Structure 1
Amino acid sequence: MARPLSPEKRNALLLSATQAVAEQGVLASTASIARGAGVAEGTLFTYFENKEALFQDLYLHLKNDLAEYVMPGYPHQAGFEPRMEHIFQRYVGWGVANAAGRLAVSKLSASGVLQDGTRTRGMEPFLAVSRMMEDAVHGGILVDAPIAFLYAVIERIADTTIEYIEKEPEGAERHRQLGFRAAWRAITR
């Protein structure tokens, strides 16, 4: 009878993969990921069928981590601007606290290895945000653009905000406010 899989080993592999992908992108080797987790390379394949499966799971793991940071307290009944500010500021907070995770998500997203179903599943925790943005586009608040485009604009400005906070932590609050103002102006009519 096979031994049950250890959640601790799986988490160690995901943590190691996060760091490796943040540093090397999808060229990170399974050997280096296993080594970073303190397990044999063969153990990695006990938890993940192959490198592609690891990357799909890693992406979903990081997107769920982001959702757990961003979505609590989401003001469903507030106006569009306060809801967008909640998302922006929480994303910035997550990104500052999880530099490797943010870089890994970015590199995985740009790599071409993610399956469409994985991307879709990664967005599921954020459906309330997508619906809010669609309503704001239809209501003439946001520019008439695809939601994915608007997300990308907001994310780039948030990433720039994070980079400035990392360089100048004493100006963090100012950078956060400037970043949100820039994002809001970029996507509104």
Structure 2
Amino acid sequence: MTIYFCNKLLMAGAVLSVCTAFAQAHQHDAASVPGANPLADKVRAADSRFLDVSVATAEGYSPIPCASGITGGAMGIHYVNAEYLKDDKIDLARPEAVMYEPTADGMLKLVAVEYITSKGPASLDGHLFNFNSAPNRYGLGAFYELHVWAWKGNPTGTFADMNPNVSCDPTVAPSQ
């Protein structure tokens, strides 16, 4: 349908960049569309219980401040499970962190999960983790991590660290 729509616009003399922008915007949300990314689909199936932040807290996750990108965008407020962080296991249904974006109405919207281990090189379903050396801005030892933007499209990629479409405003994490 997108191609048909764009071809009709071109026939009508519309600018090609309109079609390109439309197609790119449509593609950027692909990770959150079922079937577009097999790992994101698996993550949504295993972790959608975290749509309700109270489930995360009930399962031992605690909030840490929202993480903003140095050049823009953010990761959101991480709810981290310290036990999972220590065990170094990678389990699709037990991410070390679940990430929420604060909304204007004071709610938290699930946007992604993060898998973290100090053992590596690490991978999940064929996707290699990113390596973070120490020292780092998180105050952690060296670690491997993989973000999966399963509930909010990320124009920089389903597995990128920062999402330019996520904001930390408002920046106060809710109390438990």
Same-fold call, TM cutoff 0.5: no
Output the TM-score relative to the length of structure 2. 0.25
Output the TM-score relative to the length of structure 1. 0.24
Higher helix share: 1
